[in-house]
Structures are given as structure tokens and as C-alpha cells.
Amino acid sequence: MRRELPLLNAVNNAYRIVINDPMPPVWSLLETVTSTARHFADLQGLTERFNRLPEYTEEDIELLAQDIAIFIRAEVADMVDVTADLDDMTCARQWYTCALHIAEHFGMPPDNAEKFRRYKLDLLDTSVTVQKMMDEKIWKRRLKRLAYRWREHLQIAYGDVGRTASVYCSKKQISLWEEQRRRNRLIMKNLELEDEDSGDRISLADTIDASVSNPALRRVELMVRIRGFTDIAKKAGYEARFYTITAPGKYHPRLHYGPRNNKWNHASPKQTQDYLNNIWKLIRADLARDEIQVYGLRVAEPHHDGTPHWHMMLFVRPEQVDALTNTLREYAISEDRDELNTKEGIKPRFDVKDIDEEKGDAAAYIAKYISKNIDGYALDGEVDDESGKPCKLTAKHATAWASLWGIRQFQFVGGAPVSVWRELRRMRDEALAAKFGPTFAELHQAASVESDWGAYITLQGGPLVARKDLILRPYYGIRKNADRYGREIPVIKGVYLQHEPKEFPIITHNKQWKMVKKQPTPDTAAGLTGCSSFDLTVASATARTRVNNCTLFKKQPTDGEKTHSNTEPIQQTIDQQIISTLTTDQNQDKDAAPDGRGADLLALLRVIPPHRHEQKPVASDEKATMRLIAELRTRGIDDEDEIGYVLKGRMIGYGADSYLQARNGNIVIVKRQRWCGHRECHNPLNEEDLRYGDEARCLAHSDPEQVAERRQQHADEQQKRQKRDDILARVDRLRGIK
């Protein structure tokens, strides 16, 4: 257990928000004319609750999401009067900036934040994003996802993920994933799709089972597509290579054979996937410069400890095989190259295999990796090479792992859009397809009748076709009903021939469906109405209270109650008795139920509190308290709430650039720190930055011409002031004033 504690602390520190700093950057960014100490206290309370996220239940997460949304709404509402005279776009940008600072404080900025900083968002998108940042449902979804990942990351550090425990992800996460699937399935069975025009209904569950959301159909479609690529490559004379790229050793929490990796940098599977994605971006750019064109399939697969690695089946011209291999190898081993000076060489990080046609073609090589990461089809009796577990079991774990960390398991390189392929397969009438011309009829024949991906790709322009050269593209229309934010949502309605503008779009979605509750059958209806004591058809009762009773980190006592919350010490060390209790059985079975080690981990989390903002008593006795109150009143602080905040050790605003805080029994002035607002900087602003730089920008990220002009103006003002002082001094001397 002692060895796990540093790892758990390191993982926690990667997620927690440090609030020991008396001036978090977001505080200075929230400055408005109506900002008070209450705003800062609320933000501090929300931050403390956020730092407890992995311990929270879904109900706790929902309450935290509500309170963050309420806080953002309050901050934006405080800006209404300030921005009343501004035009709509400027007003929307001010609101967006205010909400963005809070969202970034919690590490959850909206996806379009960078576009906003580059002035690439229009008024509609800006307004909609502000609404989303004030939406508690959005916050609940994001906080819930973060809580699951944070908790799983701790399980990885604790040793609950690996070949000696549960492969790919922890047993606790598998249980949660299976329970969520069961609940989703139950909900789907109780819903139907209703045609808004005719009123016809179909089962929602049956509709989903008939789509690629069904693992079996998803696997079949992937195999059809890679088979089509293989057939095209054989006809065109392309060669196939099977590549494997693995992240450096520091990204792996466990060694290949199970023990802890002392070089682990505490990265999560998501961070490792981001590393691999960045490597792939560099590879694609290099290949484009060298005019090396490839197509194929990439599979992201977890190691036994949950660290992702990539398998790629790529097709390339014979004369470019070596260049492709060299480029992939160079980028795959570029980081931490010195760790490859072993007898195994670069194989742990990069491997390439030629396709032996006697053993099977490219599709046969990749088939196993597709199956073992979806449903384990045709792998009965086979075991995973790395973990030694049955492939049927690891397939379920791999799907849960990808769902948790948001990792795209399969991605095709090159080819035409699969969305057009699916729309063509929706149209079953060959006679109707023939009426739209021979080009469309051939594409429809290849996709819907023959299920020949190779023929479909060839008709679309080949596996390396550019989007502008596609023959058939998806046609998007506007959904009948706007979303909850009043925004029109584009949806696929059909397809259109790109190079034949006179042709009308070919509509494949002729009906508008909406989800409704399933109509009860006679048996279920009788069951609902069988008890005369209850009327189950009426609406649910309204809530007992209209306010949120859990806004603060902890419920605060009334004025008449005594509290010692300000003097509660932070536990810095773990009691030896607790460690002994948690480590009673060092050889416990790691394959036991998830409530075993999972309960131990939660217990451990509760005895390792997050680094709270320590609020020491500001006054030792009543006399010292009265002296502080008197000093505050002499400084013009008469508001009882603000005085109460200072006596609790918190800061309140004092003037334009300062705060007041009680430290060591005295009232001190804390200078308000400001930070650079540039997306690549966020460094503290010094006096020169504030004097000469652009608004909320340091000198390095300010307009040089404006900076030079301000410096010149300041120098001119100083020169004028010096001349004035010299004149006044001469006048004083003439008057005999020394």
C-alpha cells in the first residue's frame, strides 16, 4: 500500500484544482462591477466539491452540475447591466468570455473555445455555446464522464487493471458498463418511434438492432470494407503491410509481465491515445510532402494495463513500401529512443509484417483484431496473447475500455464516405434507382444489391479519391424541430450527384420520426390499473422545495450553532492502523468481486483528502476579533457579510487592484494579480505588461506598434510632468519657499 500512495496522489493531482494559491487566475478574470466576496466564496466551495469528484455518487454529481450551472448563470446575469449598451455580438462575446473562464477553471472548456479566440464564431454559435455552458445537463454529462475516468485512472494506479487482475479496465468499471447497457436496453424496450405524419409506430430496440450499433452488424460492415480494400489493392498491384505502433515505456503503468512500471508518468489511456494521434498527424504530413498515398484500416487496441497501441493494415505502391516503413519507424521511435538499446531493438515500439498470402490475405490478417475488439466472433477457445484471458472475455473488456476513455477503435484511411454507402443500402427498389441515371444505378447495385465495397469505391473514384472529386455525396437537410437551444440541426436526408447539379437530391429519409413511450399491451394495462388504491396515470408531484439545498461544499450551521470548520486540520499522513487494515491480506485474490479492492480504494481516497484551502483562525480571542472588525470599518468595510468572510480567512475586494485579508491577526492588503489572456500564455502580468500591453495581454502577445506608441506616450507624459515640477520648483524658490 505504501508504494501505491505516491501513485494515487500523483493521479489525483493531475485532476484536482489547486486552491491553496490565494489568487487563482479565474478570480481576476471574473472581475465585474458587481463581483463580491460571495462570488469567490461560492467558486471556492464548488472547487472543493469538484476535487471530491471520484467519491461522488450520481446524485452528488448531479447536484454539483446544477450548482456550477447556477454559478455561471449568476455571473453572466451580473454582466447584463454592464453590457446593456453594447451591440449583440460584443455582448455575446462578453458573456461567452465570462462563462469560458469558469469552464476552463474546471478544465472543461467548450469545443469551440479556440475558434472563439480566433474570432471564428458567429453570433448564433456564440449564443448557443453560452447557453450550453449554463446548462446543468451538459455539466452533468461532462462531470459524470470525468468522474468515471478519474476513478478508473486511480484503479489503474492502484493495480486493479492488468494481466494479474482485470485486463483493459477494472472489474468495477465492467460492472458499471454492463449495468448502463442493461438500463439503456430497458429504456429502449419501453420506447417506440412514431411517424409524425401517419402515426405508424416501430420498435426503437428493433431499429437499433438493425443498425451498426449492433456489434454483429458493425463487425460485418468492417469486414466488408476491408475486404473491398483488399480486392482493390490486388487489382491495382498495391502491396499490404501490417504495422504495429506502441507508445514509449513511460506511458505504461505495468510491465509486459505484470509488475509495476517505475518509469510510469501517470498518463491515462486517453492521454496515450492523444500521443499516438499526434504521431499520426506528423506521419500524414510527412507522407503528403513525399507524395506517398496510402489507404487501409487502423485498429486501436489496449495492452493488458489499458494502455492503447495501434495496429494498421496499409496498402501502398510497391516502390513506396520502404519509404512508408521508414517514415512510420522514424516517428514511432522518435521519443525516448535511448530505451530501445536492448536485445529486442525497436520491436517493442514498432513492428512491421509482410503479408504471407499462403496464410491469408490482408483481410484475413486483420479479421482477428476486428473480432477480438467487438464481440469475439469465431474466437471460441482462443486466448489473448498478452493477458492469457479468453478472447470472448477480452472483447467485452475492450469495448468497455473504448467506451470509457472515448477511444475510436476502428478508423479507415482513404476511401469514400461510408454514410453514402449506408444511404444506398436503405433504398431497396432497383427499378426506382434506375430512374436516376446509370451512374446512380451502378452505385446502388454495388452497395445495396451486391454489397461490394470494392466496386462502390471504384465507382466513387478509387480509394484515394478527394472529397471534391466524389461522384455521390450525402445530402443534408434541416430537422423539422429545432434543438433545445433553438438551433437548426442538419441531418442526412439522402444523397446527390455532385457533378450533375441539375439533378435533384435523392431522398432516402421520407419519414420524420419521434420517440414516444411504448403503448401498453392489454396485459400491462391491466397490471397498471389493477389496484384501485393508487392512480398511476397522474403526473408526479412537484418538489417540496424550489431551491437547491446543497449549494455549498458542506451544509453550513445556523448562526446559533457552533462550528469548528475553520479549525479542522488537513490530514497530512495516513494513520498506521488504517494502512494495516487496508493491507491485511497482501496476497488477496485480485480476481475477486469489484466490491473488494474497489471498497479498499474508496476507503483510501477518504483518508487522503484533497488539498483544501486551509482557513486558519484569524483571531485568537474575542478582543482580537473586535480589533479586526474596527480596523475593517476604518477602511470603509461596513457590510456584515464581507466582515464575516474576512473573519473566516477569506479575501474581499478592496479598490480596483487589491484584496483585503486577515493574516496573523492583522488586516493586510493583497495585490490583485492578473494573467495574460492569450491562449498560449496565461503568465502573470507585471507592471510593464499592465501599463504598455494590450488589454489582458502581456508584452510578448501585444501589438508591437501599440506597445511602442504607449511607451512613447508614457515618456512624453513623464517629460511634461518633469518640466512642470521644475517650473513649480523655480516658482517656490522665487517665493522663498524651500
pLDDT at res. 41: 74
pLDDT at res. 354: 93
Residue 32 confidence (pLDDT) above 60: no
Residue 161 confidence (pLDDT) above 80: yes
Residue 550 confidence (pLDDT) above 60: no
Most confident of 41-45, 134-138, 624-628, 713-717: 134-138
Q: Is residue 532 part of a domain?
A: no
Instruction: Please state, in angstroms and rounded to a whole number, the distance separating the CA atoms of residues 456 and 463.
Output: 10
Length of the chain: 738
pLDDT at res. 351: 95
Of residues 533 and 511, more confidently modeled: 511
Shared-domain flag, residues 137 and 271: no
- Segment 135-139 shows an average pLDDT of 95
Catalytic residue selected from 275, 369, 476, 485: 369
pLDDT at res. 616: 56
Counting the structural domains of the chain, the total is: 5
Q: Is 202 helix (H, G, I), strand (E, B) or coil?
A: strand
Shared-domain flag, residues 445 and 483: yes
Instruction: Please state, in angstroms and rounded to a whole number, the distance separating the CA atoms of residues 280 and 291.
Output: 16
Residue 81 confidence (pLDDT) above 80: no
Residues 6 or more apart in contact with residue 36 via CB below 8 angstroms: 642, 652, 653
What's the pTM value of the predicted model, to 2 decimals? 0.74
E strand residue ranges, 346-449: 350-354, 410-413
Which cell is 115 given? Answer: 475558434
Annotated catalytic, 369? yes
Shared-domain flag, residues 121 and 5: yes
- Segment 161-166 shows an average pLDDT of 92
- Segment 308-329 shows an average pLDDT of 97
Q: Is 280 helix (H, G, I), strand (E, B) or coil?
A: helix
Residue 294 confidence (pLDDT) above 50: yes
- Taking only the tens place, the pLDDT of each residue in 356-373 is 888 888 999 899 999 999
What whole-number percentage of the chain has pLDDT above 90?
51
Reported as a pLDDT band with limits 50, 70 and 90, residue 147 is: very high
DSSP 395: H
Shared-domain flag, residues 174 and 223: no
pLDDT at res. 24: 52
Reported as a pLDDT band with limits 50, 70 and 90, residue 37 is: low
pLDDT at res. 705: 85
- Taking only the tens place, the pLDDT of each residue in 39-65 is 777 888 899 999 999 999 999 999 999
pLDDT at res. 34: 45
Cβ atoms of residues 310 and 410 within 8 Å? no
pLDDT at res. 540: 39
Of residues 582 and 457, more confidently modeled: 457
Q: Is 99 helix (H, G, I), strand (E, B) or coil?
A: helix
Q: Is residue 561 part of a domain?
A: no
- Taking only the tens place, the pLDDT of each residue in 492-530 is 999 999 988 667 899 999 888 889 998 876 655 555 444
- Segment 248-266 shows an average pLDDT of 93
Residue 382 confidence (pLDDT) above 50: yes
Shared-domain flag, residues 30 and 143: yes
- CA nearest neighbour of 416 among 231, 234, 225: 225
Q: Which amino acid is at 197?
A: D
Residue 536 confidence (pLDDT) above 70: no
- CA nearest neighbour of 396 among 81, 174, 141, 713: 174
Sign of CA dihedral 160, 162, 168, 174: negative
Shared-domain flag, residues 401 and 463: no
Shared-domain flag, residues 323 and 467: no
Residues 6 or more apart in contact with residue 174 via CB below 8 angstroms: 166, 396, 397, 400, 594
Q: Is residue 249 part of a domain?
A: yes
Reported as a pLDDT band with limits 50, 70 and 90, residue 625 is: confident
Q: How far apart are the first and last CA of the chain?
A: 77
- Segment 375-392 shows an average pLDDT of 86
Q: Which of 385, 413, 441 is a domain's end point?
A: 413
Residue 322 confidence (pLDDT) above 50: yes
Of 170-184, 260-274, 349-363, 582-596, where does mean pLDDT reach its minimum?
Answer: 582-596
Shared-domain flag, residues 461 and 396: no
Residue 349 confidence (pLDDT) above 90: yes
Reported as a pLDDT band with limits 50, 70 and 90, residue 134 is: very high
Of residues 636 and 99, more confidently modeled: 99
Q: β-strands 506-507, 350-354: how paired?
A: unpaired
Residue 186 confidence (pLDDT) above 90: yes
Annotated catalytic, 243? no
Which cell is 406 given? Answer: 472515448
pLDDT at res. 568: 39
Shared-domain flag, residues 397 and 422: no
Residue 280 confidence (pLDDT) above 50: yes
Of residues 732 and 542, more confidently modeled: 732
Q: Is 66 helix (H, G, I), strand (E, B) or coil?
A: helix
Q: Which of 448, 476, 510 is a domain's end point?
A: 510
Shared-domain flag, residues 361 and 406: yes
Most confident of 220-229, 250-259, 653-662, 678-687: 220-229
Most confident of 438-447, 518-527, 622-631: 438-447
- Segment 305-311 shows an average pLDDT of 96
Please provide the average confidence, as pLDDT, over all residues in the chain.
Answer: 83
pLDDT at res. 481: 80
Inter-axis angle of helices 171-189 and 136-158, nearest 10: 150
Q: Is residue 224 part of a domain?
A: yes
Q: Is residue 497 part of a domain?
A: yes
Residue 234 confidence (pLDDT) above 50: yes
Shared-domain flag, residues 375 and 452: no
- Segment 14-37 shows an average pLDDT of 60
Q: Which of 482, 510, 538 is a domain's end point?
A: 510
Q: Is residue 556 part of a domain?
A: no
CA angle 271, 135, 186 (to 5 degrees): 75
- Segment 249-276 shows an average pLDDT of 94
Q: Is residue 535 part of a domain?
A: no
Which cell is 693 given? Answer: 500591453
- Taking only the tens place, the pLDDT of each residue in 399-411 is 999 999 999 999 9
pLDDT at res. 652: 79
Most confident of 67-76, 603-612, 673-682: 67-76
pLDDT at res. 635: 82
Q: Is residue 582 part of a domain?
A: no
- Domain around 709: 687-735
pLDDT at res. 605: 47
Reported as a pLDDT band with limits 50, 70 and 90, residue 572 is: very low
Residue 304 confidence (pLDDT) above 90: yes
Catalytic residue selected from 15, 365, 475, 654: 365
- Segment 661-670 shows an average pLDDT of 80
Of 425-439, 455-469, 655-669, where does mean pLDDT reach its minimum?
Answer: 655-669
CA dihedral of residues 509, 511, 517, 520 (deg, nearest 10): -120
Shared-domain flag, residues 379 and 260: yes
